[in-house]
A and B are shown apart, each in its own frame.
Chain A
Amino acid sequence: MEQQEKNAPNRELSFVTGGEVNIRQDPWWWLVVTVIAIIILLVMIAPFPFKDIVVFARDGVLVTILVTISSYFLMLILGLFGGLGRLSKNKLVFGISSLYVEIIRGIPLLVQLIAWYFASPVVIQKIGVWLNFAPLMYYRANPIITAIVAITVCYGAYMSEIVRSGIQSIPKGQMEAARSLGMSHFQAMRYVVLPQAFRVILPPMGNEFIALLKDSSLVSVVAVADITRKGREFMSAHFNPIETWLMVALLYLVLTLVAARVVSYIEKRSKRGS
């Protein structure tokens, strides 16, 4: 429910259906095959502009994948700590993590991206001047790194809430039994609570991956040459918006559909374990 606040259109579809790498057991793989076939067909039928777009956007696909995967894993780590912080008895830790979650979730990702890209270098430069420290004075933002930081911080806040509610869904008796056997709080978390919470948060974790993949298109506004930005560049050079955005959409679709299949496979497998 909380997730819908962020970016409603991205989140309406639940991608997790079927669930097997084997195409016979997970017919949704046919959809992936079909989309790829359409791309190949278009490229063969009309090399200009379709083949040119694909060639031009190829690096963009890699950038999109790089940004998505790195910020995804970083935000999982941040979300784990954020979620644990939200459950901490330490008032300071609880306060800081709650403030982080509430503030970040109240600001659109696009605004956060732009702020990180344009505002943070100025702040760092000012600090450099203040310290009279040359490397900081001439600091320039690296677009890809800045984008990864921005997405990590934003998604980390949502992930914190997913982790928190996942941990809270595990009955208190599990922790108590572990403590009554002499385990420390840390051991009880590590061996008893978190492994069970992990199974609960796996489905929302999968949805986050797909949402992040799509939201990564926003980095195109801060000079990151991802698929979307490549599409815009191609369109302004060749003036064929229909073909360009058809191809860009198809490229994203391949990525999201493949991701959805992998997510559903991982979920099925983890269920089998119990």
Chain B
Amino acid sequence: MAQAIIEITNVHKRFGHVEALKGVDLTVMEGEVIVIIGPSGSGKSTLLRCINRLEEYEKGSIVVDGIPLDTNQNINAVRREVGMVFQSFNLFAHLTVMQNLMLAQTTVRKRTKEEAEKVSRELLVKVGIPEKAESYPSQLSGGQQQRVAIARALAMNPRVMLFDEPTSALDPEMIKEVLDVMASLAKEGMTMLVVSHEMGFARAAAHRVIFMDEGQIVEEAPPELFFASPTQERTQLFLSKILHL
């Protein structure tokens, strides 16, 4: 954990009258795993989406791997370095699993078909579904789809992975298979920002847990400390709610 890979400084974002982010500062170190929690509407998704510029922000700055998010060129460069996994998987519905994994490799990374296919097969083994290469997304379970989505993002060799509630659209019995893949990624030293209320994952894999509320970071601490003795009242209230569920 030598150097900072993401530097977020005083970022503000509004949707019309709604202030989704009210001055967020966050520095993420290389290899760090951060879990972000917070009530609905607190700006967790917006923060992740600002990091790869799916959302534009009005004020502040975000620098990823030394590249400031300003010009279009830089935005595309950053997107190549940052993988994103969505709550609703967002696999390309008209393409097979293999084609889903290969598309951006050939069009963005300019790999040959052979290279791309080799990378894809290895990643499918890694996420545990090599036999599904020729299936369409609609033929897979939610857990399988999310694992394909993770593989698709990994195929671009990102330096950072963003996860926006990756398991909250899944049936309970499929959550573990996705969390296992994420945990092994964390063990390999991938830098990860994870919005999730899976506290088991946070305890086991996170280096830092962040609590967001009303567009701000309210509290951050290593997981042991965070769960044992939260300092802010809002954090305590929120934790008491979700831990009782």
Contacts and interface: CB of A to CB of B under 8 A. Distances in A.
Given A191-B103, A191-B107, A180 B52 contact: yes
A223 interface: no
Contacts of A176: 54, 86, 90
A176 B136 CA distance: 19
A181 B76 contact: no
Contacts of B52: 180
A7 interface: no
Given A173-B86, A191-B103, A181 B108 contact: yes
Interface stretch (A50-58, A76-84, A150-158, A182-190): A182-190
A191 B93 CA distance: 11
Nearest to A198: B94
Interface in A134-150: none
A183 B84 contact: no
Tell me the interface secondary structure of chain A in the complex: helix
Nearest to A187: B107
Interface string B133-153: 000101000000000010011
Contacts of A178: 92, 104
Contacts of B93: 174, 196, 274
A157 to B, nearest CB: 28
A171 to B, nearest CB: 8
A196 to B, nearest CB: 5
Nearest to A176: B54
A174 B90 CA distance: 6
Interface string B78-94: 01101110101011111
Interface in B91-108: 91-94, 103-104, 107-108
13 contacts: A171-B90, A173-B86, A173-B90, A174-B92, A176-B54, A177-B91, A178-B104, A181-B103, A181-B104, A181-B108, A181-B153, A182-B156, A191-B107
Interface string A89-122: 0000000000000000000000000000000000
A182 B76 contact: yes
A199 interface: yes
Shortest Cβ-Cβ A-B pairs, 7 listed: A181-B104, A177-B90, A173-B90, A182-B80, A180-B84, A182-B79, A182-B108
Contact of A195 (B88, B94, B104, B136): B94
Contacts of B84: 177, 180
A263 to B, nearest CB: 21
A221 interface: no
Contacts of A199: 94
Contacts of B109: 182
Interface string B100-132: 000110011100000000000000000000000
B229 to A, nearest CB: 37
Contacts of A232: none
Contacts of B86: 173, 176-177
B54 A179 contact: yes
A192 interface: yes
Contacts of B54: 176, 179-180
Q: Which of B88, B104, B149 has the most CB of A within 10 A?
A: B104
A188 to B, nearest CB: 9
Given A176-B54, A187-B108, A191-B107, A181 B79 contact: yes
Interface in A197-224: 199
A179 B79 contact: yes
Interface in B45-71: 52, 54
Contacts of B104: 178, 181-183
Interface string B214-242: 00000000000000000000000000000
Q: Which of A180, A187, A191, A195 has the most CB of B within 10 A?
A: A180
A121 to B, nearest CB: 46
A177 B152 CA distance: 10
B79 A196 contact: no
